[in-house]
Amino acid sequence: MSENIHSTSKVSDLLAQGPAVPYLAVDQSPPLEGEALLLGAKNATLVIMTSLILTKGVSILRNIPANDDVIHMIQLLEKLGAKIAFDPNTNVLEVDTRALEDYHVPLEMMKMMRASVLVMGPLLARFGKAEIAFPGGDVIGARPVDYHLINFQKMGVVIEQHGQVVHGHTQHVKARNLLLEYPSVGATENLMMFATRTPGTTRIINAALEPEVFDLIAVLKKMGARIQVDAPATITITGVEELKPVEHTVIFDRMEAAALLVAGAITGGYIHLPQGPAHSMGMLLMKFQEMGHTILIHPSGTGIKIKATKTPTAISIKTAPYPGFATDMQAYMMAALTLAQGMSRVQETVFENRLMHAKELSKMGAQIDVVHDTALIRGVEQLYGTHVIASDIRASCALVLAGLVAEGRTTISGVYHWKRGYQGLEGKLRALGANITLYE
């Protein structure tokens, strides 16, 4: 009898805990208030790590976030032969590329994250050979790599594809003018890294000019690369024979900053980000102001405060390459707009399948209609906690943000996306007053 009672209470305990671990639990929280510090930009970190393949020696990178994508990139570079020391407490990464001699990246590693494709340019530059497989990553669209491959071919790389494996080797390498059909971040970075060691002058026209691309340029220049950026959106690279190891502090993460600011906005709170890169977040900050929030920017361009209005109004956003509204901030903003008075419009133009969080937000009581690439959002008075599923890194955060204001408890599965993108963001939100727990 007592055994039965025991087992019954165990089941109810389990049910009360929510879904199978790992998951995030977010309870309705008070307005978030306080100051938060940022880590380095994940997207800058990943490509800068691959750029070290271009050098032979010991480089030191600071401000490196210990998220799972960065850990995967460490494993990938180690597989190629690099010796790596990483301290997630100090966020300092030391990479010794002297013994790096492998140029094959196995399918399992490529599948872990799409950014793995960014080893191709550096491997071709160092060894004249690279073997990768078609990358995996978020489920936010087809995400082909044709701009990378077509332009490597134009520069004299022979590309052969066998199933999922792509093999490239250099033959009569030549610098060229490369015109990108779309300013792809990854293609710009990959081609630029290859061009740093390609004799002659390469021009990438209609290049991506995201802040993370500029951080890569800063690193490549420290290595000794010759790179110039001119209007209209043209990066000119003059190849050099050798590049040397570097020390570099990665730029602060505008995506983490945006998440924290939306956390302040959605809860009607007050957040100060002393390191907030306002100079590269203009479009988001302007949209906050349109909603009625007060934004204060430090005159240096670094440092942002948001004082949120309790009655935000609906706005329209349309994602675009930088300096347009960043696609990576779109999901966060959609969470905030579910509670803005009136009808908001969110158009996603960068990735064709990046509105999947709309369905999950609707489960929480949001009123969202998705028509093709556009979400029409009618602001509601209240969201309600329920179980939702994260479909990509930014969606996982959007659901956390919505959970902060939803009545009751929101549980979020698909936590591995959260862990891919953020180091300890749940702790930062908790310090600002959020009721959030990561169950692992």
CB of 191 to ligand UD1, least distance (A): 10
Q: Among 187, 243, 250, 405, indicate the residue that binds ligand UD1 (CB under 6 A).
A: 187
Choose one: 49-57, 95-103, 181-189, 299-307; the region binding ligand UD1 (CB under 6 A): 181-189
266 binds ligand UD1 (CB under 6 A): no
Instruction: Map residues 312-331 to x or -, x wherever contact with ligand UD1 holds by CB under 6 A.
Output: ---------------xx---
Q: Among 194, 288, 325, 351, indicate the residue that binds ligand UD1 (CB under 6 A).
A: 351
282 binds ligand UD1 (CB under 6 A): no
- Return the number of the residue (30 or 144) whose C-beta is nearest ligand UD1: 144
Note whether 22 and 415 are within 8 A (CB). yes
283: left (phi over 0), alpha (psi -120 to 50) or beta: alpha
Amino acid, res. 253: D
Closest CA to 256 of 393, 75, 379: 393
Q: Among 23, 103, 147, 325, indicate the residue that binds ligand UD1 (CB under 6 A).
A: 147
182 binds ligand UD1 (CB under 6 A): yes
The DSSP result for 236-269, as a single string, is: EEE--S-----EEEPPB-HHHHHHHHHHHHHHT-
All residues at 6 or more sequence positions from 121 whose CB lies less than 8 Å from its CB, including other chains: 50, 148, 152, 189, 190, 191, 192, 193, 194
64 binds ligand UD1 (CB under 6 A): no
Tokens 């749940």 correspond to 426
C-alpha span between 354 and 391 (Å, rounded): 9
Q: Where are the alpha helices (DSSP H) in 161-204?
A: 185-195
Q: Among 18, 54, 110, 148, indicate the residue that binds ligand UD1 (CB under 6 A).
A: 148
- Return the number of the residue (182 or 416) whose C-beta is nearest ligand UD1: 182
Strand partners, 170: 157
| Distance in Å from the first CA to the final CA of the chain | 33
Closest CA to 241 of 190, 198, 194: 198
Burial 140-166 (b: 16+ CB within 10 A, else e): beebebebbbebbeebbbeeeeeeebb
- Return the number of the residue (339 or 398) whose C-beta is nearest ligand UD1: 398
CB of 54 to ligand UD1, least distance (A): 18
- Return the number of the residue (141 or 282) whose C-beta is nearest ligand UD1: 141
Instruction: Map residues 192-211 to x or -, x wherever contact with ligand UD1 holds by CB under 6 A.
Output: ----------------x---
Choose one: 18-26, 90-98, 144-152, 276-284; the region binding ligand UD1 (CB under 6 A): 144-152
What 3-state class would DSSP assign to 309?
A: coil
Q: Helix axis angle, 211-223 relative to 185-195, nearest 10°?
A: 10
177's tokens: 């003018």
67 binds ligand UD1 (CB under 6 A): no
- Return the number of the residue (59 or 67) whose C-beta is nearest ligand UD1: 67
Q: Among 52, 124, 134, 143, indicate the residue that binds ligand UD1 (CB under 6 A).
A: 143
- Return the number of the residue (70 or 308) whose C-beta is nearest ligand UD1: 70
Instruction: Map residues 4-43 to x or -, x wherever contact with ligand UD1 holds by CB under 6 A.
Output: ---------------------------------------x
Neighbour count for residue 167 (Cβ, 10 Å): 15
Nearest residue to ligand UD1 on Cβ basis: 186
CB of 433 to ligand UD1, least distance (A): 28
Q: Among 73, 114, 257, 272, indicate the residue that binds ligand UD1 (CB under 6 A).
A: 114
431 burial type by CB count under 10 A (0-12 exposed, 13-18 middle, 19+ buried): middle
Note whether 148 and 190 are within 8 A (CB). yes
350 binds ligand UD1 (CB under 6 A): yes
CB of 15 to ligand UD1, least distance (A): 36
- Return the number of the residue (401 or 432) whose C-beta is nearest ligand UD1: 401
Amino acid, res. 246: V
CB of 243 to ligand UD1, least distance (A): 21
Interface residue list for ligand UD1 (CB under 6 A):
43, 46, 114-115, 141-148, 182, 184-187, 208, 212, 327-328, 350-351
